[in-house]
A and B are shown apart, each in its own frame.
Chain A
Amino acid sequence: MNNNKPGRTRRPVALYSALMALFSLMLALPMAPQAWAGGSEPAAKVVNPGTELWREVRQREAPRAGVTQVAGMDSGVLINIRGEQWRQFRMEQLIPAAGVLIGGVLGLIVFFHLLKRGVRLEHGRSGNYLLRFKEIDRILHWYVATVFIFLALTGLILLTGRVVLIPVFGHEVFSVIASASKEGHNLFGPLFLLGVIGLLIRFVSKNFPGKGDLGWLLTAGGFLGGKHPSAGFFNAGEKIWFWLVIFIGLTISATGLILEFPFFGQDRPMMELSLVLHGVGAVLLVAGLFGHIYVGTAGMEASLESMTSGYVDVNWARQHHDQWAEVCEAEGAVIAGEDLAKKQRLRGTKNRVPDRPVAEEGR
């Protein structure tokens, strides 16, 4: 005991040898009931009261709480075995799975992009436009996008930083990064919930299953069969993404709030369950986000405009959302490129449509 300074010597000895030391007394104590050896007294069988007791304390079955003078969450619980289950899940399943899933999705996207180079506009641009997303919807979208990407980055730093970033930055620098990530994550987390509720309110009516969704799914959005399946305002893939965002978003928001404000009597099993749901949901959503970003940008020509200017080319609408385009055109909602450009110039809009038709551009 002359030297107890940090040797950073880890001892991967058997699990819980300390636990065993603490409770070795129970094993050492006799288990067998024993008769009294008293002379004329009748033999009475008395079971050592400690035996069953300590078995329960070690929580082989249900948690057993005692009383203590010390205030605090779960302070009456001597041993919480669920912590070990959570540890195993986090370290041996969640973190490796997060790496495999996110890396795998990125790899798949790169693979398919090199294979197919994304979906082009089959008939070029028409030069006429349809309004797809109003300004409030676009603002809402980019609000959720900004908050979610920030939360995803800070969350992934906390989840995988020990494996990925400590070898790069060292413990001291990473501690600063992780601390800022934790504070930022806690600060922006509740804002994500507001965004999810906003998305639900603005888009839920367009996301119920409808005509063409089954066909879209069966052909994997035209990936199989070669012909683009029919679709309404949102296709089945977009609807699935919407409901994933809503359900997983609400789950990670609820569990996040449970974790962030630990003074409503949440005990450790509840916190552990929340961390599991929060982590699994977030990793799934991040993986989905990569697909969403790809399809909205490089994966599909002229898609991004719907979320920047809000207008899409009529040919794009006909190709990807034929049912919606049909209805719009029947209603006379098509705006000529010149009219739209003039309108946007007057308003000083930044993300303007091109001034004149660019049907031949890049073909």
Chain B
Amino acid sequence: MARMKFLCDAERCIECNACVTACKNENDVPWGVNRRRVVTINDGSPGERSMSVACMHCSDAPCEAVCPVDCFYTTDDGVVLHDKDTCIGCGYCFYACPFGAPQFPTAGAFGSRGKMDKCTFCAGGPEADNSAEEHRKYGSNRLAEGKLPLCAEMCATRALLAGDGDTVSDIFRERVTWRGSSGLTWGWGVAYSKPGLRRGRDVEGRATGKD
């Protein structure tokens, strides 16, 4: 059984926000709601890093724990979903979530919240797979079609990885190995012939000036 996970490689993310746009488009996300966002730390300074973040589909999900109406559930693939028919828009999941994933459309007077909306790992909701009702409430159900979340599929630099945890870990581990043990992988020293890099699997030719 797969255990779905997201992983964002901050050494690759270029803050293009394509994942955000892809998600909004694919899932017809309500106005004012962004299921995914890219956060840049140290913007404009040396050591700047960006990372795309959305619901991380926690094993022990804080949102699920604090929900007063118990509207969350975890699928067999480890995806944390919720039932909008049960949700009362109290906002507790937003307070409990470390990643700021739950979002609320403004629904009424005085800024009152509508029903919570968050990343579904492109896996829809409790309704029948890919039914009109499911799409209206939760957006696409790509997982049911055998596809992965569109944000990761769209990522131009392959910074954002989505899929089974083991597979994602393997890909990332290989990248770390390929980058080598130097802290200088991110910068001029790598681009211009500093020796010491190890070769990755399936990489042809010379990765360094000397070999």
Chain A residues within CB distance 8 Å of chain B: 1, 3-19, 21-22, 24-25, 28-30, 33-34, 36-38, 46-50, 53-54, 57, 64, 66-70, 72, 74-81, 83-84, 86-87, 90-91, 158-159, 161-162, 166, 171-172, 174-175, 178-179, 182, 186, 260-263, 268, 271-272, 275
Contact = CB atoms under 8 A, between A and B. Distances in A.
Contacts of A83: 62, 95-98
B123 A4 contact: yes
A11 B145 CA distance: 24
Contacts of A78: 39, 41, 51, 53, 99
Contacts of B4: 1
B136 to A, nearest CB: 18
Contacts of B89: 182
Contacts of A17: 58-60
Contacts of B92: 275
B143 A4 contact: yes
List 9 tightest A-B contacts by C-beta distance, closest first: A48-B183, A49-B47, A18-B56, A70-B37, A13-B59, A4-B75, A66-B41, A175-B86, A263-B111
A16 B99 CA distance: 11
Contact of A57 (B41, B81, B96): B41
Given A5-B126, A10-B64, A175-B85, 10 more contacts: A1-B2, A4-B76, A10-B74, A18-B6, A18-B57, A21-B7, A36-B194, A38-B195, A75-B34, A86-B96
Given A22-B6, A69-B20, A175 B173 contact: no
A90 B8 CA distance: 31
Contacts of B30: none
A291 B67 CA distance: 31
30 contacts: A1-B4, A5-B75, A5-B129, A6-B75, A7-B75, A7-B76, A8-B74, A17-B60, A18-B59, A19-B98, A21-B56, A24-B7, A25-B172, A30-B183, A34-B181, A36-B189, A54-B10, A66-B39, A75-B37, A78-B39, A80-B97, A162-B69, A172-B85, A172-B86, A178-B68, A182-B90, A268-B94, A268-B100, A271-B91, A275-B92
A91 B65 contact: yes
A291 B85 CA distance: 39
Contacts of A87: 62, 65-66, 96
A80 B59 contact: no
Contact of B146 (A1, A30, A79): A1
Nearest to A11: B59
A37 B196 CA distance: 7
Contacts of A261: 110-111
A19 B56 contact: yes
B62 A84 contact: yes
Interface of B: 2, 4-11, 17, 20, 34, 37-43, 46-47, 49, 51, 53, 56-60, 62, 64-71, 73-79, 81, 83, 85-92, 94-100, 103, 110-113, 123-124, 126, 129, 141, 143-144, 146, 164-165, 168-169, 172-173, 176, 179, 181-184, 186, 189, 194-196
B95 A16 contact: no
A79 B189 CA distance: 32
A67 B43 contact: yes
Nearest to A31: B183
A186 B108 CA distance: 12
Contact of A67 (B40, B129, B141, B169): B40
A66 B40 contact: yes
Given A83-B95, A158-B68, A28 B58 contact: no
B183 A24 contact: no
Contacts of B69: 161-162, 166, 171, 174-175, 178
Contact of B98 (A28, A84, A272): A84
A171 B64 CA distance: 14
A50 B58 CA distance: 24
Contacts of A90: 66
B117 to A, nearest CB: 12
Contacts of A80: 97-100
Nearest to A174: B69
Given A21-B165, A67-B39, A87-B66, A53 B49 contact: yes
B95 A268 contact: yes
Contacts of A1: 2, 4, 77, 143, 146, 164
The residue in B10, B17, B42, B59 that gathers the most chain A C-beta atoms within 10 A of its C-beta is B59
A272 B181 CA distance: 41
B100 A29 contact: no
